[in-house]
Amino acid sequence: MRELLGSAAEHLNRREADVVARSEVLRRDEPAFALTVLTEAARGGLLWVGIAAALAARPGRARCAARDGVVAVAVASASAHLIGDWLPRRRPAADHLPAYQTLVHKPTSSSFPSSHAATAAAFTTVVALESLTTGLAVAPVAVAVAHSRLRSRAHWPSDVIAGALWGVAVGVVTRRLLRLPATADSIQLAGFFAKVVLQRHLGVSPQY
């Protein structure tokens, strides 16, 4: 089964490599500096923890969205990496490209799925379900993060699509499971997950 999946993945890689090579959007030159900053900030979900902190400063639904969003980011990040362990896929051969060389942290894990796209979609989904207006404000940032992973050639297009779909699913499930009022206990839970995300971003083994 693993050999069959590996063969299918290589076939898909070749097809996607042809598509990317013909794309005028996914050029080989250096991406805009803002995209590079964004993709690094979103590493490990840290960007979303920062946005959640800003939302948590506001009372009511924004605070609930922040709490649930942090939990969704942690779940999406961890589960995306687990999926990658189960379904390993090599990343695009882009080490020589200026677009890839702008990355400060060169990814070495499985290319599938994109954890950047998964966390972006999970956070945005939770926020949008709680407050559509706030979700629409956050959505362009999520789209930019997903695009940055393609523009830097860190992922294949299908990695980003799969990551985004997985993130949406995680966001929906997270919101349904965490329908708790914004009490001290639930805020403390969100704080715990924020700590896990931060430790993962810094490369430190989470301390439970």
CB 100 within 8 A of CB 149: no
Measured between alpha carbons, how far is residue 38 from residues 15, 43, 77, 111, 120 in Å?
28, 9, 17, 19, 11
pLDDT of residue 20: 54
Query: Which of 47, 177, 208, 191 lies closest to 119 in space, CA to CA?
Result: 47
Please write the tens of the pLDDT for every residue from 2-13: 555 555 555 555
Q: How far apart are CA 141 and CA 101, in angstroms?
A: 22
pLDDT of residue 177: 81
pLDDT of residue 94: 63
- Percent of the chain past pLDDT 90, that is, above it, reads 27
Rounded to two decimals, the pTM is 0.75
CB 80 within 8 A of CB 73: no
User: Per-residue pLDDT averaged across 114-142, rounded?
Assistant: 93
Of 17-26, 92-101, 137-146, 160-169, the one with minimum mean pLDDT is 17-26
Provide the residue ranges of all domains of the chain, joining segments of one domain with +. Answer: 31-201
Check residues 10 and 123 and name the one with the higher pLDDT: 123
**Is the pLDDT confidence value at 122 over 90?**
yes
**Is the pLDDT confidence value at 102 over 90?**
no
Please write the tens of the pLDDT for every residue from 39-77: 888 888 889 999 999 998 887 788 888 888 998 998 899
